[in-house]
Amino acid sequence: MSSKKFLSEVWLQDSSYPGRRSPNSMDHLSLEKTVTGYAARDSSGFLSPFTYALRQTRPEDVLIRVLYCGICHTDIHQAKNHLGMSKYPMVPGHEVTGEVVEVGSDVTRFRIGDTVGAGVIIGCCRECGPCKSNIEQYCNKRIWSYNDVYTDGRPTQGGFSSLMIVDQKFVVKIPTGLAAEQAAPLLCAGLTVYSPLKHFGLMKEGLRGGIVGLGGVGHMGVKMAKAMGHHVTVISSSDKKRAEAIDHLGADVYLVSSDEASMSSAAESLDYIIDTVPVFHPLEPYLQLLKVDGQIIMMGVINQPLQFITPMIMLGRKSISGSFIGSMSEVEEMLEFCEKKGLSSTIEIVKLDQINEALQRLERNDVRYRFVVDVAGSELDA
Ligand SMILES: NC(=O)C1=CN([C@@H]2O[C@H](COP(=O)(O)OP(=O)(O)OC[C@H]3O[C@@H](n4cnc5c(N)ncnc54)[C@H](OP(=O)(O)O)[C@@H]3O)[C@@H](O)[C@H]2O)C=CC1
Ligand SMILES: O=C/C=C/c1ccc(O)c(O)c1
Ligand SMILES: [Zn+2]
Ligand SMILES: [Zn+2]
């Protein structure tokens, strides 16, 4: 290895790593890296600087200096405990691009200096059906990049931090044609729309698609669907984004969900709908937009039962499905697709000390279309 194949030297002294030195040695304590991130401390969701020790590195690990990290609505759900499972302190952030600064002795796919990405999932069991079928995002033992516990028992912490350690299986190379700041939102928002379009056989040209909720995930839905040759209808909660949706994102039709007349005139016009709304909403206005055999794919994390009457789906053989991010093989494919088609995200860059304002603006639907935190350009570790 020509690169400073990295941590192998320190790992040789690492007592916690099986087969290395005496299990009683305390050498590893001196090897822990201390980093600073921005953490939520309670369900107010307010983030403030937090210093913590990274987990011990292992031979398959990649140490990433975080350059950029997108802000996903899930970060709000988690920081504010919308799902009732949040643990604090919590450093959110799962749309991470960064630079490889060290690699473990068994890392084969990355070298120091590579620009890489990491997303929502950073671990899985590797043995179950989904893992063996390379859809590890559906592993019941998946490990989340934050608000979870790693295999060593330590809390996982996300990308609003100077460094992250990620197993190489969950690291992806960012193609040279994509800028690191533009690529960050692709690692969740981009993947989340690409995966179901591929899985449900919706990458064919000529389909008519609908995107409900023109936010971070939704705007990538419009861009991906247009790049796949679809006719795209945006269904938004207000008229505010009409001009941008048509002129900048390339949408073909823009509907306001409360405008019953326009919604009715679009009845049975869509092959599929991707619904990204993060709060409770009735499904029937959207179900009526689907053609026979059409499907609505639910993306928003909504911790409340949704309702519809069964004829809305029976009389048209319509389906309601869900999808969760995408697999590591899909993320590679999606990034290549974006590079080839010249697709990127539409972002507003902020520094870490503006993160609370950005979270508030995201929550009140005031961003076009994804905030990306310039983590490396923010003052963190001295
Ligand atoms: N399934 C999965 O794998 C993933 C799920 N998610 C989830 O998808 C949802 C959307 O995420 P993201 O795109 O980042 O969110 P954003 O906040 O960026 O976008 C959500 C959009 O929904 C619309 N909306 C309608 N009502 C509301 C409301 N009361 N509050 C906020 N937005 C509203 C808005 O669009 P408009 O102005 O057009 O009405 C808004 O832009 C979240 O629940 C998130 O957790 C995210 C990533 C992956
Ligand atoms: O943003 C990515 C994660 C989405 C997500 C989907 C479902 C769920 O229960 C979550 O906690 C997060
Ligand atoms: Zn996300
Ligand atoms: Zn598994």
Q: Which residues contact 179 (CB under 8 A, 6 or more apart)?
A: 344
| Rounded mean pLDDT, 181-187 | 98
266-286 pLDDT, tens digit per residue, is 999 999 999 999 999 999 999
Give the pLDDT score at 197: 98
Which residue, 33, 67, 19, is CA-closest to 351? 67
Question: How do residues 113-125 score in pLDDT, each as one tens digit?
Answer: 999 999 999 999 9
For the segment 255-263, the average pLDDT, to the nearest whole number, is: 98
| Ligand 2 atom at minimal distance to the Cα of residue 73 | 1
Ligand nearest the Cα of residue 193 is 1
How many angstroms separate the alpha carbon of residue 322 from the centre of ligand 3? 15
CB 151 within 8 A of CB 163: no
Query: Across residues 3-13, what is the average pLDDT?
Result: 33
- Cα gap 70→171, rounded to integer Å: 16
- What pLDDT, on the 0 to 100 scale, is given for residue 380? 81
Q: What pLDDT is attached to residue 381? A: 62
- Residue of the CA atom closest to atom 26 of ligand 1: 277
- Enumerate the H helices of 24-144 as residue ranges: 73-79, 129-132
> CA geometry: angle at 211 spanning 122 and 361, to 5°?
65
Ligand 2 pocket, mutate which of 74, 78, 156, 302 (most atoms under 8 A from CB): 74
Q: Are 142 and 151 in contact (CB under 8 A)?
A: no
Give tens-digit pLDDT for 212-252: 999 999 999 999 999 999 999 999 999 999 999 999 999 99
Cα separation, 56 vs 33, in Å, equals 8
Average pLDDT of the chain, as a whole number:
92
Query: Which CA distances in Å does 32 have to 35, 96, 170, 295, 345?
Result: 10, 22, 21, 49, 35
Which structural domains are found in the chain, ordered by start?
A: 8-188+344-374 (3.90.180.10), 189-322 (3.40.50.720)
Q: Where are the beta strands (DSSP E) in the chain?
A: 34-40, 47-53, 61-71, 95-103, 115-118, 121-123, 143-144, 163-167, 172-173, 208-212, 231-236, 253-256, 270-275, 290-298, 319-322, 347-350, 370-374
- Whole-number pLDDT of residue 6: 38
Confidence of residue 16 (pLDDT cuts 50, 70, 90): very low
Give the position of tokens 């320190």. 10
Q: Tell me the mean pLDDT in the region 9-37.
A: 47
Q: 106 is written with which tokens?
A: 């068994």
Residue range 69-85: average pLDDT?
Answer: 97
C-beta 303 within 6 A of ligand 2: no
First to last CA, the chain: 31
Structure confidence at residue 379 as a pLDDT band (50, 70, 90): confident
Q: Whose alpha carbon is nearest atom 9 of ligand 1? A: 300
CA of 140 from ligand 4 middle (Å) equals 6
> Which residue in 281, 279, 273 sits closest to 307, CA to CA?
281
Mean pLDDT of 312-324: 98
Q: Is the pLDDT of residue 10 over 90?
A: no
The SS3 call for residue 120 is: coil
User: From the CA of 136, which ligand is nearest?
Assistant: 4
Predicted local confidence at residue 21, as pLDDT: 31
β-bridge partners, 161: 37
- The alpha carbon of 94 and the centre of ligand 3 are apart by a number of angstroms equal to 6
**CB-based pocket (< 6 A), ligand 1:** 72-74, 77, 188, 192, 213-218, 236-238, 241, 276-279, 299-301, 323-325, 362, 365
**ipTM over the 0.95 cut-off:** yes
Q: What is the pLDDT of residue 32?
A: 80
- What's the token pair of residue 93? 């952030």
